Amino acid sequence: MQEEKLTDTASRLLVINLIFREGMLNRSYMPENEVNFSRGLEGVIASQTKIGYIDGLKGHLVYRGYEINSLVENSTYEETAYLLLYGRLPTRSELDDFTSKLKERSSINKETYDVIRRIAGLSHTMSSLRTAVSYIGTHSKLGDKTDYESQEEMGISIIAKMPTIVAAIKRAVNNEDFIEPDPSLSYTENFLYQSFGERKSKEVTRILDSMLLLHADHGMNASTFASMVVISTLSDMYSAITAGISALKGPLHGGANERALKMIMSIGSPEKVPEAIGRMLESKEKIMGFGHRVYKVYDPRAKIVKTYADQLTKGTPLRKVYETAIKIEDYMIERLGSKGIFPNVDFYSGIAYKAIGFEPELFTPIFAVSRITGWVARDLEYLTNNRIFRPRSEYIGESEIKSYIPIERR
């Protein structure tokens, strides 16, 4: 039998699965707490994918068979987005068509700009982003359609609009006029142009493009999973992406780079690091930008982003921040490296974004400008073999059935 070839854990899961399917679960021979329990679903495989994989012990990140370093060296954000979405590198004409599609869909209407202006500064920029994407969904003609083609069209449209929305949020926060997308520019050039009102150097544009490419997909992380859970109900792509944005906002996920930079800047200089970080560790604080659920070695993305932070801060007032970060890394590796705690991608990305000219409140929205492709690609892939997500929780509450006591007698 095929089951004989499976490992103990896999056979156990198979048996449990069969028992559930047949509706045979009965506390007398299968107590609920015997079902495999994994806090935070750590290690649980809940879907199959051809999009990418992470080797957390060797420090590899692969998109559709290509190592991330080779994509950073040779590819662009648009080309990598095509690869993630369609499974292979495009030909020249396929890439031109895809890029044109993105450009055609990159504008947002006046009402959306108005909403962004009205809510600017009321709460975190990620809340503005969540609201803007959700708002666009309310006037999409496809919003209620659940067929694959409509979901794909919605996904491409959101990818295309993401830089426009995030740049608009930046300008609204700073009380500046909005700048509409320029169809002669690439995805990243347009994002920079709409954000700053001018074109940045080739070097800065290339670095930001690579950073967007590096963050585009990363397994079934919290925001990707949140988005997949929503799409698995056959809800629409706008709702799924809004869920992804909501999850990315949290400081344990996308919000870490903003906090990491604030922490590095508040420490101020390399010589203050041992005392400041030592104190934080004593009080069991998590050091933002360190540790990862999957990587137990140096995050390969962090290695690359560190070189960008180095390049961008040379000869600038941010150099001291970079040097302080280097000292924090050395100190943390000495203290926690043996536990598999190393810098993650968020540790140096804040310094690089700041050196480009973005303020910390924009860091997580920039992450979304990149990760949008991973969300859409994984949502679409999941739809091709959809099964609604429905894990269970282990009940550890009262075991006795109680009699109801009327409120006046409690």
Asked if 139 is an active-site residue, the reply is no
Q: Label the pairing between strands 60-63 and 66-67.
A: antiparallel
- Give the footprint of ligand ACO on residues 129-158 (CB under 6 A): none
For residue 191, the Cα-to-chain-centroid distance in whole angstroms is 18
3-state secondary structure of 263: helix
Counted residue by residue, the chain has a size of: 410
Nearer to ligand ACO, 37 or 395 (CB): 37
Query: Are the C-beta atoms of 250 and 222 separated by less than 8 Å?
Result: yes
- Give the footprint of ligand ACO on residues 68-107 (CB under 6 A): none
Rule CB under 6 A: say whether 286 interacts with ligand ACO: yes
Long-range contact set of residues 263-267: C-beta below 8 Å, sequence gap at least 24: 263/287, 263/288, 263/289, 264/321, 264/324, 264/325, 264/328, 264/350, 264/351, 265/321, 265/324, 267/324, 267/328
Candidates 208, 263, 287, 325; binder of ligand ACO (CB under 6 A) is 287
Q: Which of 217, 310, 346, 379 is catalytic?
A: 346
What interhelical angle do 363-383 and 202-214 show, nearest 10? 50
Q: Closest distance between ligand ACO and the C-beta of residue 341, in Å?
A: 5
What is the rounded distance in angstroms from the CA atom of residue 195 to the CA atom of residue 175? Answer: 12
Candidates 310, 346, 379, 381; binder of ligand ACO (CB under 6 A) is 346
Rule CB under 6 A: say whether 288 interacts with ligand ACO: yes
- Nearest residue to ligand ACO, by Cβ distance, number only: 291
Rule CB under 6 A: say whether 345 interacts with ligand ACO: yes
Nearer to ligand ACO, 6 or 46 (CB): 46
Interaction mask 231-260, ligand ACO, x per CB under 6 A: ---------------------xxx-x----
Query: Are the C-beta atoms of 344 and 256 separated by less than 8 Å?
Result: yes
Rule CB under 6 A: say whether 289 interacts with ligand ACO: yes
Nearer to ligand ACO, 238 or 290 (CB): 290
Q: Which residues contact 316 (CB under 8 A, 6 or more apart)?
A: 355
Rule CB under 6 A: say whether 343 interacts with ligand ACO: no
DSSP-derived secondary structure for 207-221: HHHHHHHHTS-BTB-
Identify which range of 195-203, 233-241, 282-290, 355-363 contacts ligand ACO by CB under 6 A: 282-290
Nearer to ligand ACO, 105 or 335 (CB): 335
Candidates 75, 106, 246, 344; binder of ligand ACO (CB under 6 A) is 344
At residue 181, φ and ψ (nearest 5 deg) are -60, 150
Catalytic residues: 292, 346
Residues of this chain that interact with ligand ACO (CB under 6 A) are 252-254, 256, 286-293, 336, 339, 341, 344-346
